[in-house]
Amino acid sequence: MHKLFTGVMATLTPALTLAAGISIDASQQQSLTVTLYNDNLGLVRDTRQIPAIPAGENLSIQDVSHQMMSETLRLENAGEVLEQNLNTHLISTQALLQYYIGKDIQLARMNPATGQESRFTARLLSYEGQLATVSRDNSVESVPVNSNGWRFIFPSVPAGMQSKPSLEITTAGSQASQEAVLTYLTRGLSWQMDYAMTLNQQGNRLSLDGLATLNNHTGVDFNNSNILLMAGQINQPPSNLRYKQERGMMAMAMADGMESGQPQQLQDYQLYKLPQSTSLKTGQTKQVNLIHSDQVNTGKTYRYRFPVYPGLDHNEYREKPDIELSFKNTKDSNLGFPLPAGNARVFSPDNDGQLQFIGSAAVGHTAAGETVRMPVGKAFDISIKRQQSDFEKIYNGHKMRQTLEIRNSRTSAAQVTLNADFSQEWKIDNSSHAYSRSAAGQAQWIVDVPGNGVTTLNFSVQLLQP
């Protein structure tokens, strides 16, 4: 930190005082539950012990998120709320300079040769970027804001400016000390899933570890909190829709007493609870192991997808098929529970048993019973040469022939799935291999290629005009 900021804060510290009324900070917390969503959103349920509140008394709640969405705030067990204010006018050098434009301040400068500091009074005329303009002794001069040689000394802290955000609430009062519950949505919280998978050398089983990465950029620490993770795509209301919709989300995410371990189905989403309370500091990125499964039954497929257009094409295409790993999210595959969306990184041991990275893919939200498909890379030892071998115009469209040469340089046999995408209504006249209609505009072939061998697919298709 620059000495400038140290000097400013040292000068200001004695002037910091709490607002009149009752002040409640994090030391009065009884419990804290934080629900993190995937897209820069969090739900905070903060229970604090508060004293009896006289009617009309000002209640200042400290240690709240700097990015609180104040329109979603709900306070229970503190009397009827008459007025609430979120104070985010925070002390900073920039804020103080803006406030004191047109007013007198003190400037201090250290003489590097003598080590003596000199001070003088000047009027702050303007502040922009890294320069402040001041007037003294009938002259105007600029002062660098970030210079280690200068310090700005301000007379006092302006009214309403404070060192951290606070929530000021006026209520109708309460008769006795009790636990008040503060609930609000906030920006600055998010989480994502990352999967680390290890595929065996045979390519038919993998182990799966799901790591949840938690991020806190709210400006406040959440200490000893129960952390819940909401998985699913949740629509957030636009800013002009007020707290009715957002309070519906808050009610949905309340899961006090929820058991950790298996996720809980909540409406059309999945809610995970970390097995033990944890602290999530501001600016911190935390990773926790959320999912683990060994011996997941896995399939490996080589896939190649290509377009067929109604036109003459003299080009020869040389390409590699995708390597696709897949597994069913079922108990038979040693899974069978909801998998949140995230990035998967796959490793496999080499001949010396050392793990090597072999590719990554995105995993979508996957319910129990669904299949996960992960294209992790391109096959090195399998090549496909594709070319249009015939073309003619017919009365109701075009007729063309495609030739695909699939070469396998591995010693073991390989099975390659080929998908042709047709841009018009289509009809295959003949094909060297059996095919299936995998979609309205798509035909699929599954071709076996021997080790160190070549398999050639030929087919003739009519693309018909509508």
The model's pLDDT over 298-311, given as tens digits with 9 standing for 90+, comes to 999 999 999 999 98
Model pLDDT for residues 287-300, shown as the tens digit of each residue: 998 889 988 999 99
Q: How confident is the model at residue 151 (pLDDT cuts 50, 70, 90)?
A: confident
Global pTM exceeds 0.75: no
Q: What integer pLDDT is reported at residue 248 of this predicted model?
A: 45
Q: What is the mean pLDDT of residues 37-60?
A: 87
- Write the burial class of residue 78 (CB in 10 Å: 0-12 exposed, 13-18 middle, 19+ buried): buried
pLDDT at 2 over 50: no
Model pLDDT for residues 11-22, shown as the tens digit of each residue: 332 223 333 578
Segment among 55-64, 173-182, 255-264, 341-350 with least mean pLDDT? 255-264
> Are 93-153 and 298-466 equal in CATH topology?
no
CA-CA distances (angstroms) from residue 12 to 16, 28, 162?
7, 27, 11
CATH of domain 93-153: 2.30.30
> Which CATH architecture does the domain made up of 298-466 adopt?
Sandwich (2.60)
Model pLDDT for residues 430-466, shown as the tens digit of each residue: 999 999 998 889 999 999 999 999 999 999 999 998 7
pLDDT at 212 over 80: yes
Instruction: Map out the domains of the chain as residue ranges.
Output: 93-153, 298-466
For the chain, the maximum distance between any two Cα atoms, rounded to a whole number of angstroms, is 99
Model pLDDT for residues 194-207, shown as the tens digit of each residue: 999 999 998 899 99
Q: What integer pLDDT is reported at residue 185 of this predicted model?
A: 93
Q: How confident is the model at residue 420 (pLDDT cuts 50, 70, 90)?
A: very high
With contact defined as beta carbons under 8 Å apart, do 213 and 227 qualify? no
* Cα gap 130→143, rounded to integer Å: 9
Q: How confident is the model at residue 210 (pLDDT cuts 50, 70, 90)?
A: very high
* Cα gap 433→114, rounded to integer Å: 92
pLDDT at 10 over 60: no
Position with higher pLDDT, 263 vs 358: 358
Q: What integer pLDDT is reported at residue 145 of this predicted model?
A: 81
Q: How confident is the model at residue 268 (pLDDT cuts 50, 70, 90)?
A: low
